[in-house]
Amino acid sequence: MSTEEREPTLYELLEVSPNDSFVTIRESYRRLVKQFHPSNRETGSVEKFRKLTDAYCTLTDRDRRAEYNKTIS
């Protein structure tokens, strides 16, 4: 087993499951971006905010989500 940590899935980043609805994903995204908004000036908040936004854009677009799901199955 590798000592390196794997990258979290987009679902893990947004703290949702692959079966969750678009509404649930949106609610989780909104909650998380408030916490990691760049104006908070926490270390790494800009990068985390960007990753959350990218994950949200992918998982709320039906076609992109379907393609992404193929890569993680």
pLDDT digits (tens, 9 = 90+) for 6-26: 889 999 999 999 999 999 999
In our burial notation (b when 16+ CB lie closer than 10 A, e otherwise), range 8-18 reads ebbbebbebee
Residue 43 in tokens: 């270390």
pLDDT digits (tens, 9 = 90+) for 21-70: 999 999 999 999 988 887 877 667 888 999 999 999 999 999 999 999 99
Q: Domain 10-72: which CATH class?
A: mainly alpha
Extents of the domains making up the chain: 10-72
Per-residue pLDDT at 23: 97
What's the pLDDT score for residue 46? Answer: 85
Confidence (pTM)? 0.84
